[in-house]
Amino acid sequence: QVQLVESGGGLVQPGGSLRLSCAVSRSIISIYLMGWYRQAPGKQRELVAAITSGGTTNYADSVKGRFTISRDNAKNTVYLQMNNLKPEDTAVYYCNAVARIDLGTPRSYWGQGTQVTVSS
């Protein structure tokens, strides 16, 4: 079964940095896409950043130039480096993976979420 283990959330001051990590279990055939979403109180969940199996990346306009998504294929792990954090970045961040555990159709899997709070 697919399991996503997240780490790296916490409380930081504006202008600070955090790095989120998400490790995916090896009980898979292939991972097509990995990404990070976030949801703030009273708002809808939004895509923050994503990376394909080929290395193509996408970012929300609000985080371009500040956040960087990367991966370590050997460890089945995706990272989100967050620099110059702003109070509006405060949210629960969720790791997501689109993967296959057999020869069937790829499915979407989610982590439990980790809280990021940016406050002085």
Retrieve residue 12's tokens. 């930081």
pLDDT for the residue numbered 83: 98
Distance (Å) of CA 14 to CA 22, 69, 78: 24, 20, 24
pLDDT for the residue numbered 52: 92
Look at residue 22 and tell me whether its pLDDT is greater than 90: yes
End-to-end CA distance of the chain: 41
Determine how many CB atoms are found less than 10 A away from the CB of residue 76.
18
pLDDT for the residue numbered 75: 84
Look at residue 36 and tell me whether its pLDDT is greater than 90: yes
Please compute the mean of the pLDDT values over residues 84-113 and round it to a whole number: 93
At residue 48, φ and ψ (nearest 5 deg) are -95, -50
| Helix, strand, or coil (residue 34) | strand
pLDDT for the residue numbered 57: 97
Question: pLDDT confidence of 54, banded at 50, 70, 90?
Answer: confident
Q: Which residues contact 36 (CB under 8 A, 6 or more apart)?
A: 20, 22, 47, 48, 49, 50, 69, 78, 80, 93, 94, 95, 96
Mean pLDDT score across all residues of the chain: 93
